[in-house]
Amino acid sequence: MAMGSNQDRLMSDINVTPFVDVMLVLLIIFMVTAPMMIQGVNIALPQTTSKPLVSEQEPLVININNQGKIFIIDTEVSFDRLQPQLSGMLNAREDRTVYLRADKQLTYGIVVQVMAEIKRAGVEKLGMVTEPASEKSEITKIK
């Protein structure tokens, strides 16, 4: 009777390669989906008695006029090109803060869509630019 070779024995070592593969896939999935789980948009609304902000760099301002046209500073940009163009501009800047000026006659949906595109471009802080309210403003009429 011949003695069995090493190939006939059962392997008692645990194969960790599939375990590591599954864990890496789960890690990648969580890393990709975690930023999407944040709901809401951080908006810093200035108060009417605040002083102007002092900045070394010219602030990056995105304007939306009453027809829904989008402008980065003074250059018109289509909605489809907003995120890639803004990403390129932010790569050259240290301060990743953007200010949004939207006409008050725009619908809420248009402003929110533009805000989402701005956040997708990698903006860390998004501020809404407003004008100081007068004593007889429309806000008091609503109450």
CATH code assigned at 69: 3.30.420.270
What is residue 136's three-state secondary structure? coil
Q: Is the pLDDT of residue 143 over 50?
A: no
| Residue 127 within any structural domain of the chain | yes
Q: For 10-62, how does the pLDDT look when each residue is reduced to its tens digit (9 = 90+)?
A: 777 778 888 899 999 999 998 888 877 665 434 333 345 555 556 666 778 88
Give the residue, 66 or 22, on which the prediction is more confident: 22
Q: Rounded to the nearest 5°, which phi and psi values hold at 113? A: -65, -45
| Residue 50 within any structural domain of the chain | no
Nearest to 59 by CA among 91, 29, 96, 85: 96
What was the pLDDT predicted at 138?
47
**CA triplet 111, 115, 116: central angle to 5 degrees?**
120
Q: For 105-127, how does the pLDDT look when each residue is reduced to its tens digit (9 = 90+)?
A: 788 888 889 999 988 888 888 88
| Residue 139 within any structural domain of the chain | no
| Residue 82 within any structural domain of the chain | yes
Q: For 70-103, how does the pLDDT look when each residue is reduced to its tens digit (9 = 90+)?
A: 888 778 888 898 889 888 888 888 878 888 888 8
What was the pLDDT predicted at 53?
58
Cα separation, 33 vs 38, in Å, equals 10
Specify whether the CB–CB gap between 98 and 118 falls below 8 A.
Answer: yes
Q: How many domains does the chain have?
A: 1
What was the pLDDT predicted at 21?
93
Tell me the sheet residues that pair with 128.
100
| Residue 19 within any structural domain of the chain | no
- For residue 113, give its domain range: 56-131
| Residue 49 within any structural domain of the chain | no
Specify whether the CB–CB gap between 82 and 43 falls below 8 A.
Answer: no
| Residue 140 within any structural domain of the chain | no
| Residue 42 within any structural domain of the chain | no
